[in-house]
Amino acid sequence: MPKIALRKVEKKIRKKRGAVNNLGDREAARYNRAALREQKLKTASKLRTGLKENEMIRTGYFKVATKDATVALDLAQIRELIERWVHRDDEELARFEAERRPGRPPVAKHLELKNKVEKELDEFRTGFYMPDLQDYENILNLQRWDGKLGSLAQVKFTRVSQEDPPVPVDKMEI
């Protein structure tokens, strides 16, 4: 059976039965499948949007950090920029630690922040996804970026780890 949107399924059932409530087994199962499918698509869309939003915020940071760059950055400078990005919330984490009484569980915001920092540190160990700042032409493209998702395709991205050399990333594999 082809996948049909919830509204279409509801419309067909109404046409056949007259109402969506008081459905038979077959129509109820059909309606439930369509509702679950729509819910799954909405959840996946929200997750995708959140990831893209985080990517754009991260890219914006590197745009601001390289606004005065006249040459391509070397690997040590890039790694320092990444370190600053990863540790941007350290003051707030320290404040949460200081406010917490001994023996009390941490606040949800504290746990969330701590997990975010650990996740970014782990990503930095394996390969931090960021604009390629070793190419000056790419830095110029980053400076011309207007902050929209569609124009981000002009910027080349790479993965930089703590020890290994950067690995160029094809936008299609992500």
Mean pLDDT of the chain, nearest integer: 86
Q: What confidence tier does 18 reach under pLDDT thresholds 50, 70, 90?
A: low
Q: 99 or 1, which is more confident?
A: 99
DSSP string, 67-88: TT-SSPPPHHHHHHHHHHHHTT
Q: 105 or 19, which is more confident?
A: 105
pLDDT (tens digit per residue) in 66-115 = 999 899 999 999 999 999 999 999 999 999 999 988 889 889 999 999 99
The answer to whether residue 125 scores a pLDDT higher than 70 is yes
Domain residue limits at 74: 66-173
What is the average pLDDT across 19-32? 70
In the chain, % of residues over pLDDT 70: 90
**Are residue 14 and residue 71 in the same domain, yes or no?**
no
**Are residue 72 and residue 134 in the same domain, yes or no?**
yes
Q: ∠ at Cα 127 (90, 65), nearest 5°?
A: 55
**Are residue 100 and residue 131 in the same domain, yes or no?**
yes
Distance, in Å, from the CA atom of 85 to the CA atom of 89, rounded to the nearest integer, reads 9
Nearest Cα neighbor of 162 from 117, 123, 106 is: 123
Domain count, the chain: 2
**Are residue 93 and residue 39 in the same domain, yes or no?**
no
Return the half-sphere exposure (C-beta side, CA atoms, 13 A cut-off) of residue 95.
Answer: 6
The answer to whether residue 132 scores a pLDDT higher than 80 is yes
**Are residue 113 and residue 145 in the same domain, yes or no?**
yes
Residue 57 within a domain? no
pLDDT of 1: 46
Residue 60 within a domain? no
pTM score of the predicted model? 0.72
The answer to whether residue 123 scores a pLDDT higher than 90 is yes
* CATH number of the structural domain spanning residue 157: 1.20.1440.170
Residue 58 within a domain? no
**Are residue 3 and residue 83 in the same domain, yes or no?**
no
- What are the φ/ψ torsions at residue 160 (nearest 5 degrees)? -115, 125
**Are residue 137 and residue 113 in the same domain, yes or no?**
yes
The beta strand positions in 7-152, using DSSP E, are 128-131
**Are residue 139 and residue 83 in the same domain, yes or no?**
yes
pLDDT of 108: 92
**Are residue 31 and residue 74 in the same domain, yes or no?**
no
Residue 130 within a domain? yes
pLDDT of 3: 67
